[in-house]
Structure 1
Amino acid sequence: MTDGLRTWHGSCHCGAVRFAADIDFTRGTIRCNCSLCTKQRNWAAIVPAAAFRLLQGNGALTEYRCNTRTERHLFCGACGIRPFGTGTSPRWGDYVAVSVHCLDDLPADARAALPVTYLNGRDDDWNHPPADVRNI
Structure 2
Amino acid sequence: MRYQGSCHCGGIAFEVEGEVDSGLACNCSICHRKGSLLWFVPRNALTLKTPAENMSTYTFNQHVVKHRFCPTCGIHPFGEGVDPQGNAMAAINLRCLQDFDLDSVPVHTFDGRAV
Larger radius of gyration: 1
Higher relative contact order (CA 8 A, sep 6+): 2
Residue 87 of structure 1 aligns to a residue whose secondary structure is: strand
Q: Gapped runs of 5+ residues in structure 1?
A: 1-5, 125-136
User: Using the alignment, how far apart are the partners of 1:111 and 1:25 within structure 2?
Assistant: 10
Alignment RMSD (CA, Å): 1.4
Alpha-carbon shift at residue 93 of structure 1 (Å): 2.7
Structure 1 segments of 4 or more deviating over 2 A? none
The whole-number CA distance in structure 1 between the counterparts of 2:16 and 2:31 is 21
Residue identity in the other structure for 2:107: V
Give 5+ residue unaligned stretches, structure 2.
none
Give the Cα separation in 2 of the matches to 1:45 and 1:15. Answer: 20
Instruction: Report the equivalent of 1:119.
Output: 110
**Alignment correspondent of 1:94:** 88
TM-score for the superposition, normalised by structure 2: 0.93
Q: TM-score, structure 1 length as denominator?
A: 0.79
Matches of 1:104 and 1:111, distance apart in 2: 11
**1:118 alignment partner AA:** T
Aligned length: 115
The 2-side partners of 1:70 and 1:47 are apart by: 17
Counterpart contact for 1:48–1:92, Cα < 8 Å:
no
Alignment of structure 1 residues 101-116 onto 2, 5 Å: 101-106=95-100, 110-116=101-107
